[in-house]
Amino acid sequence: MPNIPSPRSVEPAAPPEAHDDGDFSDMLSEQRILLPGAQMLTAFLIILPFNGGFRHIVHFEKLVFLATFICALVSLLLLSAPAIQHRLIRPLVDRAAFKHIASKFIVAGAVALAFAFTLATNLVISEVFGTVAGGVASGLIALVILVLWWMLPMYLQRAARF
């Protein structure tokens, strides 16, 4: 029986725009991972002041709460901005420029989210175990975020592994 090529092997190569769409889809998938974390943290922070025990926390913890809340809101705004912008300026005239700007928003949102996670760790652990434990725990979380979110990808990119 003759060797019949699979349908994939006879298809023409995808145009460059198709690759751009794949990058765009990747970007949207990344947002689908980051946005729920920002949403959940923000939601929990919104209800925290309405709990009876909140008024009993010390002034410093209230300041940490305020910084955490602002970072969480900023991350939510930055992470959702590309979707809203995309909807408002459709059809996109310069897809590459939009992806470049949207990527900057996503990275800035991830930075704000990293601060929110770190501060939230400090807030929770300080309340349960004390200020020193809160500082240590938030420092460890900041280090883990720094390594996993920033340093490892930079290392892998430089090592040309991805």
pLDDT digits (tens, 9 = 90+) for 101-144: 999 999 999 999 999 999 999 999 999 999 999 999 999 999 99
pLDDT digits (tens, 9 = 90+) for 15-30: 444 445 557 778 878 8
Q: Does the pTM of the predicted model rise above 0.85? A: no
Angle, vertex CA 111, rays to CA 76 and CA 77, nearest 5: 20
Q: Which two tokens stand for residue 6?
A: 């699979």
* Separation of alpha carbons 27 and 21, rounded Å: 10
Task: Delimit the domains of the chain by residue range.
Answer: 38-47+59-158
Residue in 54, 75, 77, 53 with CA at minimum distance from that of residue 65: 54
* Angular region, 13: left φ>0, alpha ψ -120 to 50, beta rest: beta
